[in-house]
Amino acid sequence: MGGVVEVVLPVFALIGLGFIAGRRALLPRAAFDGMSAFVFGLAAPSLIFLGGTRPHDSAGGAAAALLTGGVLVFLLATWAGRRFFRMGLSEAALFALACVFGNSLMMGVPIIVAAFGQAGVPPMLGILALQTMVLLGLATIVTEMGLNEHAPWRRVAVTTVRGVARNPVVMAVVAALVWTTLGLTMPGPMERTLELLGNATPAVALFCLGGGLSAISGRAAWAETLTIIIVKLVALPGLVWLIAIAIGATPIETAVAVTMSALPTGANAFIFARRYTIGMDRSGAAVVITTALSVLTLSALIGHFRGVLP
């Protein structure tokens, strides 16, 4: 248990410090925006590219398990939103996104690295790229379909592709794949520069996450928000775990896939809701509450996997 506390407590301590700094206006909101842009656009892509270009075994089982579970839950949650909560198609899609899209960059990267070390990086890379492309792409398509029922399919497709192509995290994974496929050697100064940038990712990302949470409203439709909490922290990880076992994923792939699937609702769910001005309070409340509760769920999962991994 002591080992788990050593991993989890600093993570949530940094989130808490960021929350206090944001709530008490110790830093201007523009400072958080600037740090977030640095992490998303430069530091995290450096960490991801560097990890992807270092020698490692194939780790596709983690991405396969998480994405299979994520897509299934997204479709079921979209149906449930329309059937039980009387939502339109666009609102149901954004509700479903909050159920499946975890805070993989700001929280997942530092937690996986801290809990599983470099062994957890290869499985994480595939998840980071494909989760963004598949889940955000799917949510964009369904939301746009709901808003533009008679729009040409080409317009919806172009909007989705452009959004994914502009994502620095996805581009970092693609660049790492190209680099390793070509068998290129990284010069020492370049590697050291990327290490310095990448090492800044965990602390800055977690601090910014706390600052972002301090600005999110807690008002919500509570029946819907409770559903998101249960699905995101319990149902999705359980399903991903079963899928990982069924497809024969390795122990480290299973550990990373389940831990990543159990991350709290990501800020992108709130950003999407704000972009479309649909269900912002619900998505914001889901981000705040799942982040708080994930202290318990992630501690339990990390403790289990660290106990069984060699």
State yes or no: pLDDT of 106 exceeds 80: no
State yes or no: pLDDT of 136 exceeds 80: no
The CA angle 150-155-161, to the nearest 5 degrees, is: 140
List Cα–Cα distances, 260 to 107, 154, 283, in angstroms. Answer: 9, 33, 19
What pLDDT is attached to residue 59?
A: 57
pLDDT band at 155 (very low <50, low <70, confident <90, very high): confident
What pLDDT is attached to residue 26?
A: 94
pLDDT band at 256 (very low <50, low <70, confident <90, very high): very high
Q: Are 61 and 241 in contact (CB under 8 A)?
A: no
Mean pLDDT across 7-31: 88
Mean pLDDT across 124-152: 78
What pLDDT is attached to residue 198?
A: 87
State yes or no: pLDDT of 28 exceeds 60: yes
Q: What values do phi and psi take at 96, rounded to 5? A: -65, -35
What pLDDT is attached to residue 216?
A: 72
Q: What is the pLDDT of residues 178-191, one digit of tens each?
A: 898 898 888 999 99
What pLDDT is attached to residue 64?
A: 94
pLDDT band at 257 (very low <50, low <70, confident <90, very high): very high
Instruction: Output 32 or 205, whichever has higher pLDDT.
Output: 32
State yes or no: pLDDT of 287 exceeds 60: yes
Q: pTM higher than 0.85 for the full model?
A: no
The CA angle 196-260-27, to the nearest 5 degrees, is: 50
Residue-range domain boundaries for the chain: 2-304
User: Is 1.20.1530.20 the CATH classification of the domain at 2-304?
Assistant: yes
DSSP 3-state of 10: helix
What pLDDT is attached to residue 233?
A: 97
What pLDDT is attached to residue 217?
A: 63
pLDDT band at 154 (very low <50, low <70, confident <90, very high): confident
What pLDDT is attached to residue 57?
A: 54
Lowest mean pLDDT among 52-61, 167-176, 238-247, 250-259: 52-61
In angstroms, the CA 238 to CA 128 distance is 20
What pLDDT is attached to residue 11?
A: 78
State yes or no: pLDDT of 2 exceeds 60: no
